Structure 1
Amino acid sequence: MKLRRREFLQQTVMGVGGALVGAPRLAGAASPPARFDPYALVPLGKTGLRVSRFCLGTGMRGGMRASNQTRLGKARFEALIRESFDRGTRLFDLADLYGTHPYVFPALKGIARHRYSLVTKIWFREGGIPEAERPGADVCVARFLRELRSEYIDLVLLHCVTSPRWPTELRRQMDLLSALKDKGRVRAVGVSCHSLGALEAAASEPWVDSVHARINPYGMSMDAAPEKVVPLLQRIHAAGKGVVGMKIMGEGRLRHDEQRRDASVGYVLTLGCVDVLNVGCENLAEVDDLAARVRRVMRPTV
């Protein structure tokens, strides 16, 4: 039975409040946890990657290799990364556009590389970064690896894809990334989508391992209304591709709206087609707040 979005939002708000006073699950019960765990390791589609359900985003107001996270300064941003890891975060979302690569290794120094996963993105569009040149993905990834001080990158995306013809227009970059994947420098590839047409193309493109897509119940900073986006995310997920949700908090618009923040987190988690929530927290209090909201969401009963 399909649940209308308005009905879902009403039930989510009631359910989240009720979860705070509900009876605890019986100890030793064999059933899976009744509520979502923000730090549980989940499969990212069929990529072979197991990542935390919560991903620390680093690109709030990002551009020209800066973001709100880098503007925190080196010490505060690196502390945010490390303390987020200490709480259980195992996926970190980066991009050349944000300038966040150099902060990761110092922040996570001493931690074995296999214990966390990194996503980054290649900026191929005009503007956005200081240089006018747009070299091939092989050149970009070689630099990224040096900046990250890593032998591999878990997931590399083509950043901010908008054209519905991107599989044709970006084929050279796709082929270069496939070659890097064959060599083990990159473990999975995909796109971050910023139009409905681009998302539709991603759903049917065999090259794509994982998709970053904008999703919340209010259509804030999204490619289209949720009623149009969700069926595509379901297709992408059913095809075995990873789905990472962006703009869960409406690009910060829900920051001061308690009820709608809860409703948005609950809505996305219970869609059943979004593997990961990527949220650009700017301090540890926001990380803890998001984690608490995730923990209050009841898992759907089958």
Structure 2
Amino acid sequence: MRRINRREFITRTAGTIAATVGLRQPFGVADTSGAPLPAASVRCALGKSGLSCTRLGVGTGTRAWNKNSEQIRQGRETFLKTLTHAYERGIRYYDLSDSYGSHEYLRDAMAEAGMKREDLFILTKSRATTAAEIQADLDRMRQEVNTDYFDVVLLHCLTTGDWPEQMAGCMDALSGAQQKGIIKAKGVSCHHLHALQAAAKHDWVDILLGRINPYGTHMDGTQEEIKSVLGEARANGKGVIGMKILGEGKHAAERETCLKFAMSLECIDAFTIGFLNAGELDDIIHIMDRTASG
């Protein structure tokens, strides 16, 4: 599948789906048609990394910590159904983290749905602070997902502007893993404006995960500050992925506004949203289609 940029994605998707968009379903009611819808499943290039992912990613860490999350709390059957349903609808980007406890769930979903590893974009994150810790994490996490490699591994939840100095050992270890083919790209997930600003400028960063939505909820600065920093990152050739698009679920009722906002942004390539069930996923897919079709 040919990779496209954000502007071409909006233009082409609008023409492709104008005649196929259906009525909005209630939030949480699954669409069983199984037909991939292009607004969510189109592949988008991630800066100069050489990688692409589907426009929409499946988040697995809503209100997550200590290997638990809202997704896990829904029960194993529901979580696996959400992951496999996403694959059936054409989504190929899965957003994981060691702290979410979601690795084994994706492993089982891959086996259950017969997912082809080469078709997937698997991003995970580590809270390691030393080279030895992150090397051990890479070995363990690959076993947990049953994969030889990750598409992206991020240093997770960075909160200070001096993280390049503090995390130098981890950075060197990830660079080595990239050279060995254990990971295809590396980067950071930021939870503070200063950390985000440092990431936008740093040559080491291939992929940047930043928080953005139209309400400023769980963001690291004002709208203009975040747009400016993420735009700088894209201009510097980094793949930029948005998160907290619905403000960690706080703005679920305003999800159409949130999605229109995210899809209009020039400063991100793709975005990830956490879903509690297959119906929530389908609702977001339909809104994306309507938005892209104008």
- Pairwise TM-score range, normalised by the shorter structure: 0.7 to 0.9
The ranges of structure 1 where at least 4 consecutive aligned residues each deviate by more than 4 angstroms after the TM superposition are: none
Q: What CA deviation, in whole Å up to 9, does each residue of 1:95-125 have, x standing for no partner?
A: 0111100111211113221011111000137
Task: Indicate which of 120, 123, 136 corresponds to 1:119.
Answer: 123
Identify the residue that residue 244 of structure 1 maps to in structure 2.
Answer: 241
Structure 1 residues not aligned, in runs of 5+: 1-18, 26-34, 126-132
Q: Which moved more, 1:109-118 or 1:191-200?
A: 109-118
Verify the 8 A CA contact 1:270 1:299 in the aligned structure 2: no
Q: Structure 1 residue 218: deviation in Å?
A: 1.1
| SS at 1:38 equivalent | helix
Please give the alpha-carbon distance, in whole angstroms, between the structure 1 residues aligned to 2:280 and 2:106. 19
Alignment deviations for residues 17-76 of structure 1 (CA, whole Å, 9 cap, x no partner): xx9xxx859xxxxxxxxx971111111222222211000000011001011111222222
Aligned residue-pair number: 261
- Displacement of 1:299 in angstroms is 7.5
Distance in 1 (CA, whole Å) between partners of 2:165 and 2:96 is 25
Query: What's the RMSD between the two structures over aligned residues?
Result: 2.1
Q: 1:134 to 1:47 in 2, by over 3 A?
A: closer
Note the C-alpha offset of 1:149.
Answer: 0.6
Post-superposition Cα deviations, 1:213-253, rounded to whole Å, max 9, x if no partner, equal 00011111100111111011111111111111111101111
Aligned partner of 1:266 among 256, 260, 268:
260
Q: Give 2:206's aligned amino acid.
A: D
For residue 220 of structure 1, give the secondary structure of its aligned residue in structure 2: coil
- Counterpart check, 1:293 vs 2:290: no
User: Is the helix fraction higher in 1 or 2?
Assistant: 2
- Structure 2 partner of 1:12: none
- Distance in 2 (CA, whole Å) between partners of 1:82 and 1:206 is 36
Which of 75, 89, 109 is residue 87 of structure 1 equivalent to?
Answer: 89
Cα distance in 1, alignment partners of residues 191 and 56 from structure 2: 21
Q: Which digits, 9 at most, give the CA deviation of each residue in 1:237-273, with x for residues without a partner?
A: 1111111111110111112x2xx32222111211112
Q: Work out whether residues 215 and 222 of structure 1, in 8 Å CA contact, stay in contact via their aligned partners in 2.
A: yes
Rounded to whole Å, the distance in 2 between the matches of 1:174 and 1:287 is 34
TM-score (norm 2): 0.84
Kindly name which structure, 1 or 2, has the bigger radius of gyration based on alpha carbons: 1
Alignment match, 1:148: 145
Q: Which residue of structure 2 lines up, in the alignment, with residue 174 of structure 1? A: 171
Cα displacement (A) at 1:134: 9.2
For structure 2, list consecutive stretches of 5 or more residues without a partner in the other structure.
Answer: 1-13, 21-36
Match of 2:231 in 1: 234
Fraction of identical pairs, as percent: 37
* Residues 62-91 of structure 1: CA deviation (Å, up to 9, x unaligned): 001011111222222112111111101100
Matched, 1:50 2:44: no
